[in-house]
Structure 1
Amino acid sequence: MGFLKGSTWEPVMTKNTSSSSYWINWRVLVCAIWLIIPLVFSFFLISKYEGPHKGKNRVHFENNTVPVPEEEDEDEEEDAGILYEDEVWRPCLKGIHPVWLLAFRVLAFVVILSVLVLNVAVDGGDIFYYYTQWSFALITIYFGLGSVLSMYGCYQFLKRVGGNTMSNQVTDAEIGTSTMLSNGAKEAPENRRQIIAGFWAYLFQIIFQMNAGAVILTDCVFWLIIVPFLEIKDCNLNFFIINMHTINAIFLLGDTALNSLRFPWFRISYFVIWTVIYVIFQWIAHVCIPLWWPYPFLDLSSTFAPLWYFLVALMHIPCYGVFILIMKLKYVLLSKWFPDSYMCMKS
């Protein structure tokens, strides 16, 4: 394994994975069921909750003008899957300029991309055989896309400030107070005039929640299972693998503390789909080529394979739940410490 240093331990191939007898048995059938059930349920949740489904929640803009909103029931809850355009680039506190979130995301992108490129240069493209590198590549994409969206957001923010002689009033508009337009008309509050996010913003939000679960899963499995196992085998870990399971969590938690993104529970579906895609990739690879399994619990030759697959599938719930608790803690603390500045919706 490329991430081991000074080690004599290597994963071994227990059986010929390309033979028909390896795949035609009850264990594979049960494991396939453990993949299909959460996959179907995930697509059901996405179809039910993703995006704005109620027409009254959607506000349309034409030529960047702010229309007079129709009266709405203020007690009506927003759709769980709704996302507004500025939530992907706006910090959660009014006192923080969007450029600081941009700077953090650019820094994170440069550091994470550098580690990934160096890892590929040292160990080769075979590192993408592991779920860890899949997740690390995903968080690289997250900060890369986040940097671009933050650049766009800073441009929009500066354009709004520059076009207003009383630029300090922009922050009041952000939290829903009325301001005066240039023609003397009263501008609608922010909660009535926000733009529904587009494709790239929604993709960014989805990747954020996929990363939340994947980072917790990979880091917990690594530090709680793999590291103790390798210590027993007297193996040493190299610089890259330790950094990958450290900076991914540090940068993701840092971005979480700063951003205004929501965290609806139903998007655990994307996290589940991400893992299922990885497992399907491994199955296809092993059908075509006799290979050792990157993780022993994926080996279908074991009698306990169905149990392992079930337990790993079950692990997605607490891993995702941990991040939900982190988001709730953020809401409780920041809304208490900065009641007049905190702008995020409660997830």
Structure 2
Amino acid sequence: MSIWDDTQYWVQWQVPVCAFIVAAPAVLALRYVKKLKAQPFDYADLWTPCWKNFSPVWLLYYRAFAFVCLAWMLYEMVVFAGAFCFFFYTQWTFALVMVYFALGTIVSAYGCRLSSKKPHSKNGDSAESVQRELEEIQQKVGLWGYLMLITYQLIGGIHSLNAVFLILDTALNRLPLLWSGFAYFVLWSCLYVTFQWVIRACGFYEWWPYPFLELNTPWAPIWYFSLALVHVLCYWIYVQIEKIKISVLPGLFPQAFVGSF
């Protein structure tokens, strides 16, 4: 494709329309990002299971196992296809889920350590020392915890194996899936589309990894708008899974289930 042809490609009427369809939700999402931080936040919900008598250690083991499995599979993808595999949104979400379980493993490890340290000593100095250490651990968990909670709001776009690990984690953890968290999900997808536009405009390749990203068609705005609606549907489905968890399970297991904050 010549420089002239490439210029003609980007001045078609559907390009600014599609750009607006991508940019408008991103701008709105940025306005709602701060709402997630305003939600009540209990550190213990990051590593405490939603089932009584279910040790946080088992949640730690599960998250570590999920991280190792996903990391190994992503490694195999990179070995097979190289960095090219990250041209596809599937690998982006796969890597994001892996990051979530990595953060979850770290936070659960801190949580288990925190749970094992209780300032019950009769020695005043010793009790104060333990209390200070507990506060330091909570501060560290706070940073990782917010990152973990933000990542959890991004994983509404699920694929096969991702879905298995995520649904199992949802069934075990006490983290809520907030509608305000949809803003992060939108920003993540807009970032991917922007990434594709930039590398396409820079001439790294002359094709799109997904046909619905193609701009050289009068149907492009419809495809982009439909894609936006699909994101709402995906997140809605995962929110319904969360609602079923907190509304159905307490009735089925009143003595065993513990709700989220």
Query: 1:105 touches 1:144 (CA, 8 Å); kept in 2?
Result: yes
Partner of 2:37: 51
Q: 1:31 aligns with which of 18, 22, 28?
A: 18
Partner of 1:7: none
Offset of residue 117 of structure 1: 0.3
Partner of 1:114: 72
Residue type of the alignment partner of 1:310: F
Residue type of the alignment partner of 1:134: W
When residues 301 and 17 of structure 1 are mapped into structure 2, their CA distance, relative to the original with a 3 A threshold, is farther
Query: 2:45 touches 2:260 (CA, 8 Å); kept in 1?
Result: no
Q: TM-score, normalised on structure 2?
A: 0.87
Q: 1:148 aligns with which of 79, 92, 106?
A: 106
Equivalent residues in 2 for 1:1-347 (5 A)? Answer: 19-47=6-34, 49-52=35-38, 81-160=39-118, 163-164=119-120, 198-211=142-155, 213-215=156-158, 219=159, 246-289=160-203, 290-345=205-260
* Distance across 2 between alignment mates of 1:135 and 1:17: 35
Offset of residue 164 of structure 1: 4.8
* Distance across 2 between alignment mates of 1:29 and 1:312: 16
Deviations 1:148-184 (A, max 9, x none): 1110011011113xx559xxxxxxxxxxxxxxxx9xx
Three-state SS of the structure 1 residue aligned to 2:183 is helix
Report the number of matched residues. 245
% identity of equivalent residues = 39
Offset of residue 37 of structure 1: 1.2
Deviations 1:128-152 (A, max 9, x none): 0000001111111111111011100
* Distance across 2 between alignment mates of 1:29 and 1:156: 52
When residues 208 and 16 of structure 1 are mapped into structure 2, their CA distance, relative to the original with a 3 A threshold, is farther
Three-state SS of the structure 1 residue aligned to 2:37 is coil
Query: 1:106 touches 1:147 (CA, 8 Å); kept in 2?
Result: yes
* Distance across 2 between alignment mates of 1:115 and 1:284: 28
Three-state SS of the structure 1 residue aligned to 2:117 is helix
Which of 336-345 and 92-101 deviates more? 336-345
Greater C-alpha Rg: 1
Query: 1:18 touches 1:288 (CA, 8 Å); kept in 2?
Result: no
* Distance across 2 between alignment mates of 1:151 and 1:266: 28
Deviations 1:9-32 (A, max 9, x none): xxxx9x989811111121001001
* Distance across 2 between alignment mates of 1:320 and 1:309: 17
* Distance across 2 between alignment mates of 1:263 and 1:309: 25
Instruction: Tell me which stretches of 4 or more aligned residues in structure 1 moved more than 3 Å.
Output: 15-18
Q: TM-score, normalised on structure 1?
A: 0.66
When residues 42 and 260 of structure 1 are mapped into structure 2, their CA distance, relative to the original with a 3 A threshold, is same
* Distance across 2 between alignment mates of 1:284 and 1:96: 48
* Distance across 1 between alignment mates of 2:206 and 2:103: 34
Residue type of the alignment partner of 1:198: G
Three-state SS of the structure 1 residue aligned to 2:157 is helix
* Distance across 2 between alignment mates of 1:36 and 1:87: 34
User: Which stretches in structure 1 are left out of the alignment for 5+ residues?
Assistant: 1-12, 53-80, 166-181, 183-193, 220-245
User: Which stretches in structure 2 are left out of the alignment for 5+ residues?
Assistant: 122-126, 128-137
Query: 1:16 touches 1:291 (CA, 8 Å); kept in 2?
Result: no
Residue type of the alignment partner of 1:88: L
